[in-house]
Structure 1
Amino acid sequence: MTGRESITPPHRYRDNDKAVGIGNAFWDMSERNGLAGIVAELDDGLLRTADGHEFVNFTCCSYLDLDSHPEVIEGAVAALRRFGVLDHCIPRSRVQIPALLELEASLGELWDADVVSAISAGVASAGLLPLVASGHLGDGTRPLMVFDKYCHVSMANAKPACADETEVVTCAHHDLGFLEDMCKRYERVCYVVDGADSLGGYAPVKELNDLQDRYGLLVYFDDSHSVSAYGERGMGYVRENSRLQDARTVTVATLNKAFGTSGAAIVLDGFDKSVLRVIERFAGALSYSQPMNTAAVGASLASAAIHRTPELVTRQTRLAANIELFDSLVRTAQSGAEFPIRVVPMGDDAVIDAGRRVFEAGFYVSPVFFPIVPRGTAGLRVMMRAGQTVDQIRSLCRVLVEVGADAVTLADEVPGGVLR
């Protein structure tokens, strides 16, 4: 015994002992079965490992396959040539080249909003949420910060910083009754939630609009999984369905997923320019010398240009058709939704072996387990993309049925006898 004091963690907002202690066993098992740490080269839509195993990736968030679009690639190269620097490493509040301003203006026109760029949605949330908590991104009133139980870790990780500015609580998933009770009790409430969940499903945007109207509720959305894949000009589920486009709603979204590039967009309405300056100067890493690099900006300008053409609708339509085809073959809790993610349920003791067998058959779907999902709700996460072929989807579904046994439920109608 040293006689020195040990520390008992309060675990008020996170518990690494629990997350690592339980989740790491699944990660280790995934790695032992070749389902994590995979290294593969991309060749014409197929991935190939060093030992020659080829597979189709059904766990990729590039829902429209814009990340390999020739115009997006050329946009990155052209921007590097034009500006002559990869990363102008100085806070933008001091000196900046025109690249970021051009991108923010382009995205602002595309989605009819004020847009501030960031290197990632996680960085954006880490910087913005404490400013919301202190009232500086709002009307000056410190709100009760209500984090949805299943909000993405990139937002949940901001709880301790927010708790130094105001009160922080966690509510059950999409618990509108709890939110209304808090709105009646507190002068100001902010709800932190995913607009589109990483495991399927959308936030109740219209019902939240009602609470915003009645009580002035602030809502902070991360809509990363639906921007570009959903809505006119790829504005995403939140913006497409919310009738409130003012300072009561803040939306962040990565550009790495369906948008097909890199970085993130903070989409704002109704804020004075002075508030945008506060974001640039005090929103954590947003105020450091870490802006989007020039290649990412150029690629994003090219993707934004594609978003203004009929090609975007063509790709969105292909994605929707592929989602519908999958749903016609395998039933999941997400069946029938326009969301591109499906989770095929499996038992905790079976999900790794099932994932391995799917991979051996030439497809990668990621096993998800605690703390990615609640304990006892493991499954194989399938992500649909516009570029997947009908044959690939049919073949994957056939394999899922074979490995899923009793856990996989066939759809009532199987067009054309696909699974025969």
Structure 2
Amino acid sequence: MLDYVLIALAVLALAGVVFEEVIHVNKAKTTLFFGTLAWILLFIDASAAQLPLVQESLEHNITEISSLWLFLVAAMTFVAYLNRKGLIENMLNLIMPGKISLKKLLFATALFSFCFSSLADNITATLVSVALVLSLGLPLNQTLRFAVLVVFAVNSGGVSLITGDVTTLMIFLEGKVTITQLLVLILPSFVAVMLLATCLSFGLSGVVKIRKVHHQTNPVDYVIAAAFLLTIVCTLLGNVFFAIPPMLSFLAGMAVMFLIATFMGEEKDDDPILDYIRLIEFDTLLFFLGVLLLVGMLQHIEALDALLQIYSLFDPIYANLIMGILSSMIDNVPLTAALLKANITMTTTQWMGLTYAVGVGGSLLVIGSAAGIVTMSKVKGLTFATYSKFSALLLLAYLAGYGMVLVVSPLAL
């Protein structure tokens, strides 16, 4: 009986996010409330024999959440500093012409987000890409198109590299695919992004004047920008070669940033470097906390395992496609973990299809990926409802990319 109550709480939390504009309650408040309430009910209902298992599950859930939280704090602090100092806008001045058509700008944004997310993690790539979009000062209806494209492009860019997406790394570590086979996913992922950009470009016209306001910067700002890039590179290399958690590498990078500001003598009493932590969006972090508590609860009561029945009803090609769509409502990491634990027998082509599906499928809903949640917190006017207006185009691009994966995957075998 309790399991049905807990699932109902998860549905209510999702409804709170969907109807945020109607009920006028911040999504962070609803998800955090239902997430904590669900675990409290689990403890109350647990018998003496079950209590240690509930405690262990919660501690495992909190460990995963804290790793994400600390990583986000470090990444957001870096971006907050670079944005406040004007380095992001200065970079835009260098790479963008004085005038550019909206259509060309849209494709340039897609290309930048796709490529950058292949090098950096999705959250960092989203923060930088969204900052670039917002600096353009476009009207809301145009900004929404760019924001939706950023979410899809960021999620697509990391799917072909083990350093670009956690689920890709999980499937690789299980020996289901090789690095060279994953590289084949670059082509369908890129084509899907360009297809979405083409669809979003219809109706766009005119020329955008790039405001080239040069911000005065200090040498320390460039050193910290270099430290940020070095942190990204070290995070990737450290994770691949030494299995160093990305959270640890980024915290170390943030500490280096603090030390740079201190020892270069640029820290002022009215602008202390530690204060930049206060500029990050804590409502986003609280929303993450609530969502991941709910996902952890669903995993504990084995509600996610019921999804595995899809593979007994459909061929793996279609089941993987459905799993990608479901990943827009359920965190793709526990979903992928459940699939791997179930030891489902699939061909390499089908595993590559699943890799694409769970990596890109989260883009279909704004709450389905970290990129979507971060973008929603940064772009005023981007809500569950406004993002959903683009669902048909997102689904079209997702289906096109998935279909192309099935076509090109045999070439890598």
Q: TM-score, normalised by structure 1?
A: 0.27
Richer in helix (by share): 2
Richer in strand (by share): 1
Structure showing greater relative contact order (alpha-carbon pairs closer than 8 Å, 6 or more residues apart): 2
Q: TM-score, normalised by structure 2?
A: 0.27
